[in-house]
Structure formats: C-alpha cells, structure tokens
Amino acid sequence: MNLDELNKVAVAMTANGKGILAADESTGTIKKRFDAIATENTEDNRRDYRELMFRTAEAMKNHISGVILYDETIWQTAKDGTPLVDLIKKAGAIPGIKVDEGTKPLPNCPGELITIGLDKLADRLAKYYDQGARFAKWRAVIDIGAGIPSHAAIHANAHALARYAALCQAAQIVPIVEPEVLMDGDHDIDRCAAVTEWVLKETFQELYYNKVALEGIVLKPNMAISGKKSSKKASAQEVAEKTVKMLKNCVPGAVPGIAFLSGGQSDEEATAHLDAMNKIGGLPWHLTFSYGRALQAAPQKAWGGKEANVAAAQAAFNHRAKMNSLAALGQWKTDLEKKAA
C-alpha cells in the first residue's frame, strides 16, 4: 500500500469547493428515476443520461472532483466510442466505483439490514483499478425505529465497512466509508445525532482494529437531521451546529475530508445545510458533498429522455454543481437560487 498516493487521491476528492457526483444508482434504482420522467430504462438511455453529465464541461472541470460509477457504467463507452471513464478523467475528475452488492436482512435483528459483497471483493477491486477506478464506495444502512438500531446491527455493519476499507487500501483504492443513518422515521434531530454518533464511534473503532490508514479514506456520513415524518423540523443552523458537534466528537483529524450524502433532502436543503456547516469553519477536515439526487433531480427532469433537451439538462446540472461548490466554500446564498430560476 502506498499511503502517500492514497492520501493524494483522498485530498483531491475533497478539494476546496469540489465534491463528488454519486452516479452509481443500480439498474433498479435508476428505473424509479426514469419512471418519474417517463423514460424507458434501457442500457442506452442509462448511458446517454450519464454521458450528458460527464460531458458538462464547466461542472465537471470546476465543481466535481470525482464520480461514483455503477458496475455497468464503468465498462460502458459513450456514443462516439470513448470509454465513459476517459470522459471523466479528461474533465479532470477521478473515476470511482460502488462495490457493495446491496443489503439483506440481518439474522436475529428484525427490521435491520447488513450490506453484502465482501466475498471476492479483492478480485473485483483489482479489475476496477485496471479500468481506472481510484476510489470505491460501500454503503451501510442503519434505520431508526422502535427498539432499533441494535448494537448487533451497528457492529456488523461497521465491521463490514472496515473490512471493505482494508481491502480497498490493499488494492491501492481509496475507500469512501459510508455509514448512513436513514432519515425515514419520525425521530427528531437529537435522536438522529445520538444514533449517528454511536454508529461513527463503532465504525472508527473497527477501522482501527482492521488497520485502515485514516489518511487514505473519505468519510461519507449523513447529517444530523430530523426524520421525514418528524413533527419538529430543524433549521439549517441547527442541522449545521449539531452535525459539526457530532463530527468533532467522533471523527479523527487524520481523515482528509468528509463528503456528505444528501439522503432524501431536497436539492436546496442539502445545499443550505452544507453551506451553514462551512460557515461555522475552523474544522480539521474539508466538508463537501457526495450527492446523488441533490445533484441529479433537476437535470433528470430537464432531460426527460429526449436528446433535444440535453443542453437544458446540462444547464440544470451546472447550476446544482455550482451551488453545492459554493456551499462547500461557505459562500452560498439563497438568492443565487432565485436568480437562476
């Protein structure tokens, strides 16, 4: 393992004002997105849609540091025959790959899940490295509900994340460590912060036991946020303050950067929350974004599966990338959204 090289990649992934585009939706997930815009879920349409983003020159060059790809996408070529990986590299961004294989119910833990995909991961990582991937992603899913999460579920998922991270570093690939506490319930922000703190502490303990070098990872956590069904919605300032406090309690300063997931927040919420955190400042790590929906919902809608709409979709992608880039610098303002509209 060359830690200097891993660290260089991790630092570049969370560089000032740049963030990660999560374009790693599984075929099933992108079907839901395409259904919403009345577009057929074919391999060509999936390729065309992702190609239009990777060819959005301004966003890719100025605001996007890396792109998380799905297995299908990393092997695909653009319409003109250029490998999609090469389009990403040409724009100055780093190609990455989602390597987990989804979730399964965790035995003896009703309502809880474990992420699978560790078997043969070492072999897959070697192939992805040869194809140009320099970072990977593995998502653990922790739900909040009556009597959950259990320690068994948190421990099992933290252990799997650490094993994945160790395998990545051995393959000279930077692991994105993503323990996601879901915002689906009716819990308030304090419950989310407490559970996330528990999950992060367990995760860093397992990373330590598995000898993972923290200088060569990127953390992708959820923010401290009220559940979607909660009657008490926290303000952007409260989200920022409680998330920063939670991170300070759990994340060693050796970690080069933290790239948040948007986790079902609206486009503007995800941007406002990130901006408010960066306005607090004085943190040991760069705080940026690793957004899927919060970067893609607007371009998807503008595109609608039609070639005639590619320019409009690229303009929408440019705008969201720029807004999040400003938020990663603590320089975003609400009226910038209104100007664009």
Asked if pLDDT for residue 340 goes beyond 80, the answer is no
Across the chain, what does the average pLDDT equal? 97
Any idea where the domains of the chain sit in the sequence? 3-340
Determine the pLDDT at residue 299. Answer: 97
pLDDT tens per residue across span 243-278 = 999 999 999 999 999 999 998 899 999 999 999 999
139-148 pLDDT, tens per residue? 999 999 999 9
Q: Is 184 left (phi over 0), alpha (psi -120 to 50) or beta?
A: alpha
In this prediction, residues 169-190 reach a mean pLDDT of: 96
- Read off the pLDDT of each residue in 185-205 and give the average, rounded to a whole number: 97
Q: Would you say residue 94 has pLDDT above 60?
A: yes
- pLDDT tens-place string over residues 317-330: 999 999 999 999 99
Does the pLDDT of residue 341 top 70, yes or no? Answer: no
* Predicted pLDDT of residue 338: 80
Q: What is the pLDDT of residues 24-46, one digit of tens each?
A: 999 999 999 999 999 999 999 99
What's the confidence (pLDDT) of residue 180? 98
341 CB burial (10 A radius; 0-12, 13-18, 19+): exposed
Active site residues: 178, 220
pLDDT > 70? residue 72: yes
Question: 3-340 in CATH: which number?
Answer: 3.20.20.70
Residue 88: per-residue pLDDT: 98
